[in-house]
Amino acid sequence: MSALLGVVLLTLTACSGGGSGDPEPDDRSAETAEVSISVAPDDGATGVATSGELTVGAEDGTLTEVRVTDPEGTEVSGELTEDATGWAPSEALANDTEYTVAVVGENAEGTEGTRTTSFTTLAADATFTSNWNISDGAEVGVGMELSVTFDTPIENTDAVRDAIRIVTEPPVEVRGHWFGNQRIDFRPEEYWAPGTQVDIQLRVRGVEGAPGVYGTAREDIGFTVGRSQVSTVDVNTLTMDVVRDGESIRSIPVTTGAPGYETWNGRMVITEKLVETRMNGDTVGYGGEYDIPDVPHAMRLSTSGTFIHGNYWGGGVFGNSNASHGCVGLRDVQGAGDPGTDAAWFFANSLIGDVVEVVNSNDDIIAPDNGLNGWNMSWDEWGV
């Protein structure tokens, strides 16, 4: 028996030794360490912060799948490191929510390892709501700005700004600017290019806007930029030149603010369209100077009450004299029923987000936060 065993051992040595010298190592028999998967926070942890604590890592291998889900099965988006050995969420987590972390990794030999944990995030002391001005799927003019407002003052303005992500096609840089601590507007440096698709990810949920106060909004919306239309109102000539896609398509006689009621200068964006509306001087600090219940074809240019609208009571002022209380008036008829008037034509041919620029008025340039009029700020100022 011993002799036979010796023969077998000699034979194996001869086969694996390559004929002479020290034997070559056999890679097939080399041991490979199992992938080690780490998850923070620990399994079963409670009171976990909504940002900055969740991380996944791999040693002696790489991560091939990371799924973080809430009780409804909604996944948290995240990003792998370039070498696939780490993962972190790309958005804040919801407050007071249990999350399950399921991870798959593999070592250099392709052998898989798995790990599953769970944890619960901290509850919010208070929450803040977010409201925005553009409906999903809207077609807008080239001057549209995304404006997001909050129902409580924001202290961590950078964190909230960064949680509102905007992607465009074709690509263009978009910056946000805070007006005070409850409103942030977003726009590119120049007017949007016609046809631009704008996709917005509101990821404010779980973002701590102020100590103990967390956001609740998590929504995706998008809008499309239509044709370019920019109309210039010249107070000296009392005309409005309507330019579409670089070509002047109509010149319209207008009336603007009378002495003492001058119309703002500057670039203003149409934010609202009303076939008929009541205009009362009491609402804008002019007392009982006027109260017109049926102003036709009214389009808002400022929060403070500047409109471009139809006027059926002005007689022959259009193109001849300035007679308004600061609005831009166009010839119209009572009841807004005549599609052939200048006001009806302009109303039908305008989009929310179109630009109306007033020049040569004796008033100041309109404030950038009086409506969606941030185009009156330089790009350098806007990024601050």
Burial class (CB in 10 A: 0-12, 13-18, 19+), 135: exposed
In 3D space, the residue among 290, 302, 352, 367 whose CA is nearest the CA of residue 328 turns out to be 302
In 3D space, the residue among 148, 135, 197, 147 whose CA is nearest the CA of residue 172 turns out to be 197
Pairing of strands 126-128, 208-210: unpaired
Handedness of CA 6, 10, 12, 17 (dihedral sign): positive
Distance of CA 195 to the CA centre of its chain: 17
- For residue 114, how many other CB atoms are within 10 A of its CB? 12
Catalytic choice (177, 297, 309, 325): 309
**Buried-exposed string 262-278: b where 16+ CB fall within 10 A, e elsewhere:** bbbbbbbbbbebbeebe
Is 133:146 a contact under the CB 8 Å cutoff?
yes
Burial class (CB in 10 A: 0-12, 13-18, 19+), 8: exposed
Burial class (CB in 10 A: 0-12, 13-18, 19+), 341: buried
177 is catalytic: no
Residue 133, token pair as written in the block: 């001005």
C-alpha distances out from residue 180 to 149, 183, 272, 369, Å: 10, 6, 23, 10
CB neighbours of 235 closer than 8 A, spacing ≥ 6?
A: 256, 262, 263, 322, 358, 359, 360, 361, 362
Catalytic choice (177, 297, 325, 327): 327
Is 264:362 a contact under the CB 8 Å cutoff?
no
309 is catalytic: yes
Catalytic residue IDs: 309, 327
